[in-house]
Amino acid sequence: MSGGPAPVTGLRLTVLLGEGDTYGHRPLYSEIVHRAHYARLAGASVFRGIEGFGASSLIHTTRLLSLSEELPVAVVIVDVAERVRAFVAELRELVGESLVAWMDEVEIVR
């Protein structure tokens, strides 16, 4: 029984943002996803957090009494290492000094 092609080693890039971060008139997470698509990366997804804090040390939450509009957002991009590393350079130009991101090795299964 054939299990399909063997897994490929790649990188997962996770970028942390605030929901209210923008680039021009577009949410920053959307700009990142569109640029990843334009760069023909294998995939990108955005996940909205329900609670978190960052450099400001303020806790942002979805709880009704807080009504936060600055919830944490994670953009996750996966592709082979060379393509992800090349995209990080563009990401640095886009996000600048406030970039909070990490990469970890993954097995890409198709």
Tokens representing 27 are 């949410």
Residue 71's pLDDT band, with cuts at 50, 70 and 90, is: confident
Q: What are phi and psi of 96, to 5 degrees?
A: 80, -150
Q: Considering only CA atoms, which of 47, 38, 107 is closest in space to residue 78? A: 107
Entry pTM: 0.83
Q: Considering only CA atoms, which of 81, 83, 59, 56 is closest in space to residue 71? A: 59
Tell me the domains of the chain and their CATH numbers. 9-100 (3.30.70.120)
Of 55 and 84, the one with more pLDDT: 84
Paired sense of beta strands 22-23 and 26-27, if any = antiparallel
In percent, the amount of the chain with pLDDT more than 70 equals 82
pLDDT of residue 39 exceeding 90, the answer is yes
Average pLDDT, the chain: 86
Q: Which pLDDT score, from 0 to 100, does residue 8 have?
A: 87
Q: Which pLDDT score, from 0 to 100, does residue 96 have?
A: 82
CB 77 within 8 A of CB 16: no
